[in-house]
Structure 1
Amino acid sequence: MSREQLAVERARKAFLTGRSTVLENRIRQLKNLKRLLVERQQEIAEASKKDLNRSEVGIQLYETLTLEVEINLAIKKLKEWAAPRPVAKNLLTMADTVYIKPQPLGVVLIIGAWNYPWAVTIQPLIGAIASGNAAVVKPSEVCVHSAKVMEELLPLYIDKELYPVVTGGVPETQELLRQRFDHIFYTGNCTVGRIIMEAAAKHLTPVTLELGGKSPCYIDKNCDISMACRRITWGKYSNCGQTCIAPDYILCEPSIQDRVIQEVQKSIKELYTENPKGCPDYGRIINQRHFRRIMAMTEDSAIAVGGENDESDCYIAPTILRDVKAESKVMQEEIFGPLLPVVPIGGLGDAIHFINQREKPLALYIFSHDNKVIQRLIDETSSGGVLANDCLVHFSVSSLPFGGVGNSGMGCYHGKFTFDQLSHLRGCLIKKLNMEGSNSMRYPPHTHKRLGWARFFLLSDLDLGWLGRLAFIAALVAVAAVVLQNYMA
């Protein structure tokens, strides 16, 4: 039996003990997970520095702080999320108990990504724990040091049978995908996403896919261009551009292209100094393979700013490309690096057409003072999420669902959305063995009179209020059996 198969079997066996479903145990595991993030911050930061050249403050700001927020929310709201949820009734079910009961799915596979190894791996785990599941955690092998720390630390703080960590590369992931899971949660790229969906289909396993894409950024010529470009610069070059919701390219009218380039260049110096290579807040490309992939994208575009690079250090300077064409290499796939193409377009209508001609992105960014411009882009395009006049920060709002649409993914998470995504929302209807007369309309022989009563009970939309409903139920109980039995036959 392989190591991967053994981990899954142990997780399944542990889940069947029922201990993951006990609310007090869920809360205990979440508190322990938070302790890990706080107590082992140094080890987490050192691994992130080795993998992505991220500073200790940076790892907290972009990863562990958001995880602490998610854990606090889950602990605070867990009893509410897990409780039965009453639903609206129709006239036929007024006297019945009708509700939704969230239940754990079973054993979840979580496959993380390397760009934010803690945030995108542990955040789904928080939801899996909160919703009462067991979970097999597979960190990305590309972030070697972070994966090793995760493998060492998680079993010290949370139930190692319910939440085993499996490390390794493609063979180990393939072996995991051969096992049967009750849900698979994957963050990464479309190519692997298709492989995972194909493997899941063999067991009819539902999936959540967070896949990214080319997120457009439209700048209205009448907005505060200086402020817009500062925020875009931060959103684009954070983590050296290796962010699934980074603004991938700018759409703007030709009349403001030079101003946009000038302001982004100014902001690069402001945020990352005259020498970004020596700036502790500017990261590195994850490895040389991705370095070469990103540099190849610049071959047929004009570099307006930046372009300096060092393959031995996996360093690419914050770079701006100007007068970029739709057919340019940099526009054919998600960049996932510090290149910012500026694509001149005729105006708002052309921008909408340009966006709609391409795959649906994970995020759409709009910079404008005009609410009509913002609303038109929201109404006439499709994307996983929309953010006006800023970048990235919608990821931190737990009350918003985070996820893609079409090519950028399926399913969503964050806060209660993760809990619901990894739960079976079981519909429950509890009737009493009385009032049989009210059921007569559904029994043969089927007559027009019985159909008429069925239409009345099913199509009536009465908003009687709380007291009205009580009075109606009392009247229904008293009259239904007599009336229906006497007059429906």
Structure 2
Amino acid sequence: MSSLLQLNKMREYFLSGATRPIAFRKQQLKQLRQSILQYEGALNEALYKDLKKSKEEVWFSETGLVLSEINYFLKQIDDLAAPRRVSTNLINMPGKSYVMYEPLGVVLIIAPWNYPFQLLFLPLVGAIAAGNCIVLKPSEITTATEAVMQQIIAETFEPYYVSYVTGEGAAVIPEMMQQFKFDHVFYTGGTAVGKIIYRLAAEQLTPVTLELGGKSPCVVTPNADLKLAARRIALAKFSNAGQMCITPDYLLPHQSVKDTLVALLKETINKFYGEQPVESYDYGRIVSKKQFSRLMQYLHQGKVLAGGTHNEELLYIAPTLLEVTDTSLPIMQEEIFGPILPILTYNDDNEALQIIRQNPDPLAFYVFTNNKVEADDWLQQVPSGGACVNTVARHYLNKSLPFGGRGNSGIGRYHGAYSFETFSHQKAVLKAATWPDPTFAYPPYQGKIAIFKKLIR
């Protein structure tokens, strides 16, 4: 664990100005890229051990995304870090106005277990690019990946620049946040813990980014391409055995297309994972017995339309379609975070909206329709952190889009330039001219209201 002494050394190192030069930041990113490539095989093995991810899925959803983010910043950091000129208003003429990007200081990044590498290292890349010192707290649940990540950090960075903290988060994180004032806390995980982080940060007026979750709905209208919908829904829902914060948490097809969609989903699951998904190269496992037991409770809260088979010893739950009619059940009130897809139907848009509004501000919202007007109307009707039309979760892969929640699903945003903004302070700077220096700008002000009204309008 990072002791107070080590945290204070990190503060001293930041205040020395060593992390500010762009050349330094680029060098750290290059070193990190090299280390990730060096440990690519070890990461593949660790993520297979922890979650049974194939090396292809690891690249697509973990290491590849982080390396892409590093490459982005190496190309864009000069422009991102440069002062940005803005217009100067009349009362400040002649003068120059610009926004200056300052590193925040010592920041804390806390990651979950479902994408243990990507969700720790992706914000790390942004924090390095912005010129900060960083404390990393990975999940203690994915032990194999945690060990490889610790090795990468130890061999790549000095501990007073990037520190890696192990141990049970419930004990380690509060202690750190109570004894040391971080300049920003970036947390990805569940809402309950997010509230605790928020309270701890509030005591020291520390800004936070909270990447939480929620019940992301997926609406399928009568105007949808159902074969396309089935493929894209199944891909996102059952990737990583459903342990993804932006996977569809429940499916809302129109009553007229429900039976066809269910049949196509069954067919698609079989194509993706075979008749025995437990034997599939591409199908993952539940992370722990605790999570397995939690998920098993949901299987009894609806009618199993497909899947439902399970094996506790293997931490295996098959891709499962579950017909649900009661929205008050826990499966419709809690984030599932597993390979179980509840399916409800709606007869008109208002009925669907009433269901969605029972769990407002989801992290993501998905709608399948080939009608542009209908798509735009759904996007307007459902507030969410992000949204996709005719696909699922793919917005996360676009660095040009901000990723984050709203309300119950989180605070703040990151990815690409948005990560740079999150880990930077945008300082407003006005460079005023020394001449002219008109006397009307100074007291006494009586009789000058007409001039002020012309200057400030």
| TM-score, length of structure 2 as denominator length | 0.97
**1:58, CA displacement in angstroms?**
1.3
Moved more, 240-249 or 351-360: 351-360
**1:347, CA displacement in angstroms?**
2.2
- The aligned counterpart of 2:80 is 81
Moved more, 158-167 or 310-319: 158-167
* 1:59-82 Cα deviation digits (max 9, x unpaired): 111111111111111111101111
Question: Is 1:85–1:100's contact at 8 Å kept on the other side of the alignment?
Answer: yes
- The aligned counterpart of 1:283 is 284
* 1:192-242 Cα deviation digits (max 9, x unpaired): 001101110111000000001110000011211111111000010000000
* 1:120-147 Cα deviation digits (max 9, x unpaired): 1101100110000000011111111111
Matches for 1:131-210 after TM superposition, within 5 Å: 131-169=130-168, 170-178=170-178, 179-210=180-211
**1:452, CA displacement in angstroms?**
1.6
**1:407, CA displacement in angstroms?**
0.3
Separation of aligned partners in 2, 1:62 and 1:3: 29
Q: 1:53 to 1:159 in 2, by over 3 A?
A: same
**1:445, CA displacement in angstroms?**
2.8
| TM-score, length of structure 1 as denominator length | 0.91
From 445, 451, 455, the equivalent of 1:453 is 451
- The aligned counterpart of 2:374 is 373
SS of residue in 2 equivalent to 1:379: helix
**1:329, CA displacement in angstroms?**
2.3
Task: Please provide the CA RMSD for this pair.
Answer: 1.3
**1:366, CA displacement in angstroms?**
0.7
SS of residue in 1 equivalent to 2:426: strand
**1:177, CA displacement in angstroms?**
2.1
- The aligned counterpart of 1:392 is 393
Q: 1:154 to 1:379 in 2, by over 3 A?
A: same
Separation of aligned partners in 2, 1:141 and 1:229: 35
Separation of aligned partners in 2, 1:182 and 1:173: 15
Question: Is 1:86–1:98's contact at 8 Å kept on the other side of the alignment?
Answer: yes
Separation of aligned partners in 1, 2:67 and 2:402: 18
Matched, 1:356 2:357: yes
Separation of aligned partners in 2, 1:115 and 1:25: 32
Question: Is 2:360–2:383's contact at 8 Å kept on the other side of the alignment?
Answer: no
Moved more, 344-353 or 296-305: 344-353
2:284 alignment partner AA:
G
Matched, 1:129 2:128: yes
Question: Is 1:252–1:347's contact at 8 Å kept on the other side of the alignment?
Answer: no
- The aligned counterpart of 1:258 is 259
**1:380, CA displacement in angstroms?**
1.6
Question: Is 1:249–1:341's contact at 8 Å kept on the other side of the alignment?
Answer: yes
Question: Is 2:273–2:280's contact at 8 Å kept on the other side of the alignment?
Answer: yes
SS of residue in 2 equivalent to 1:109: strand
* 1:22-67 Cα deviation digits (max 9, x unpaired): 1101000001111122111011111101110111121111111111
1:56 alignment partner AA:
K
1:21 alignment partner AA:
R
**1:313, CA displacement in angstroms?**
1.0
SS of residue in 2 equivalent to 1:247: coil
**1:403, CA displacement in angstroms?**
0.1
Separation of aligned partners in 2, 1:104 and 1:65: 26
SS of residue in 2 equivalent to 1:222: coil
2:214 alignment partner AA:
G
* Percentage of pairs with the same residue: 38
* 1:355-402 Cα deviation digits (max 9, x unpaired): 233221000001000011111111122000010001111101001000
1:173 alignment partner AA:
I
Question: Is 1:4–1:166's contact at 8 Å kept on the other side of the alignment?
Answer: no
Question: Is 1:91–1:457's contact at 8 Å kept on the other side of the alignment?
Answer: yes
- The aligned counterpart of 1:318 is 319
- The aligned counterpart of 2:218 is 217
**1:354, CA displacement in angstroms?**
2.2
Structure 2 unaligned residues grouped into runs of 5+: none
Question: Is 2:2–2:164's contact at 8 Å kept on the other side of the alignment?
Answer: no
Matched, 1:327 2:325: no
Aligned residue pair count: 455
- The aligned counterpart of 1:103 is 102
SS of residue in 1 equivalent to 2:433: coil
SS of residue in 1 equivalent to 2:344: strand
SS of residue in 1 equivalent to 2:239: helix
Q: 1:35 to 1:265 in 2, by over 3 A?
A: same
SS of residue in 2 equivalent to 1:344: coil
Q: Which has the larger radius of gyration?
A: 1
Separation of aligned partners in 2, 1:164 and 1:328: 43
Moved more, 202-211 or 169-178: 169-178
Question: Is 2:214–2:359's contact at 8 Å kept on the other side of the alignment?
Answer: no
**1:274, CA displacement in angstroms?**
1.1
* 1:315-361 Cα deviation digits (max 9, x unpaired): 00000011432112210100000000111112223222322332210
SS of residue in 2 equivalent to 1:402: coil
- The aligned counterpart of 1:245 is 246
Structure 1 unaligned residues grouped into runs of 5+: 460-489
Question: Is 2:301–2:324's contact at 8 Å kept on the other side of the alignment?
Answer: no
Would you tell me which structure has more helix in proportion to its own residues? 1
Separation of aligned partners in 2, 1:311 and 1:50: 16
- The aligned counterpart of 1:410 is 411
* 1:94-121 Cα deviation digits (max 9, x unpaired): 3101100000010000001110011111
Separation of aligned partners in 1, 2:165 and 2:116: 14
- The aligned counterpart of 2:231 is 230
Separation of aligned partners in 1, 2:195 and 2:100: 32
Question: Is 1:124–1:418's contact at 8 Å kept on the other side of the alignment?
Answer: yes
Question: Is 1:301–1:321's contact at 8 Å kept on the other side of the alignment?
Answer: yes
SS of residue in 2 equivalent to 1:436: coil
1:83 alignment partner AA:
A
Question: Is 1:11–1:136's contact at 8 Å kept on the other side of the alignment?
Answer: no
